[in-house]
Amino acid sequence: MRTQEKTEQPDDAAAGGEAPVTVIIADDDPMICQTMALILQDYSRGRIRVLDTCADGVQAVAAAERDHPDVMLMDIDMPAMDGIEATDRVRHVSPGTHVLILTSLSPQRTVERAVEMGAEGFVSKTDAPQTIIERILAVRDGEPQFNQAAQRQLLDDMASTRLNAREDEARGMLDSLPERERETVILAAQGMSNQEIAERMFISERTVKAHLSSASERLSMNRVQLARLVERAGR
């Protein structure tokens, strides 16, 4: 863990009577930590003070618990503990700390997972210094900070989650049927006639009709709806 020197800041913030926003930077690349610290200290005109930099998630959690910064910039891919898990732990040990994910990419599910763990936005390592500073100041004031790419990814992740939930729900409904009824419904959904199902399952057509009727009553669905259920379940 590399503690930043408490260098004197320009007194723009002090002149306004407002204490600077305290920040901790967590990234396993020392060049990123150094560059980001310089950007925040040299371009913020005294509005931001970097307390510390950390090389992994474990250090980040310990630093948050010790210093309780206003904002933490958290990289995702770090050793010992990744930024997603570290975000969750930071929110427990320092509830007042706002976490911004520090990243150059937004892999699928990253945005949604980060939000679930308590992150309040994203900062790109390639953003202009003023943009990074504005995001830090805004998130300290309770304004979530998601750029267009992160917003788009979040919407995509949520849509994917809804689809997965619908699939899980459909599978659960199918699995609630007795085995022979379930098999009959799946074969019917594949377009087989009652006669073909009977031959396939070595039962009578009357039994096929009874299985389908029973499944319809159990799930309150007609044959077309049962076929859609099988489709949603991926069977």
73-83: per-residue pLDDT in tens?
Answer: 999 889 889 99
Confidence of residue 222 (pLDDT cuts 50, 70, 90): confident
Region of poorest pLDDT, from 61-65, 100-104, 109-113, 172-176: 109-113
How far is it, in rounded angstroms, from Cα 62 to Cα 103? 21
How far is it, in rounded angstroms, from Cα 148 to Cα 65? 32
Provide the CATH number for the domain formed by 2-152 in this structure: 3.40.50.2300
pTM of the model: 0.61
137-183: per-residue pLDDT in tens?
Answer: 999 988 878 765 665 665 566 555 555 657 888 889 999 999 999 99
Region of poorest pLDDT, from 5-19, 120-134, 207-221: 5-19
Domain boundaries, the chain: 2-152, 164-233
**pLDDT at residue number 4:** 45
pLDDT above 90: residue 6 = no
What's the distance, Cα to Cα, between the start and end of the chain in Å? Answer: 52
User: What is the mean predicted confidence (pLDDT) over 98-126?
Assistant: 77
Domains 2-152 and 164-233 share a fold: no
**pLDDT at residue number 14:** 46
CATH number of this structure's domain 164-233, picked from the four choices 1.10.10.10, 3.40.50.1700, 2.40.128.20, 3.30.70.890: 1.10.10.10
23-49: per-residue pLDDT in tens?
Answer: 999 999 999 999 999 999 999 999 999
For 39-198, where are the E strands, in sequence order? 48-54, 71-75, 98-103, 122-124
Q: How many residues does the chain have?
A: 235
**pLDDT at residue number 200:** 94
Confidence of residue 9 (pLDDT cuts 50, 70, 90): very low
Q: Sheet holding 21-26: strands in order across? A: 2-3, 48-54, 21-26, 71-75, 98-103, 122-124
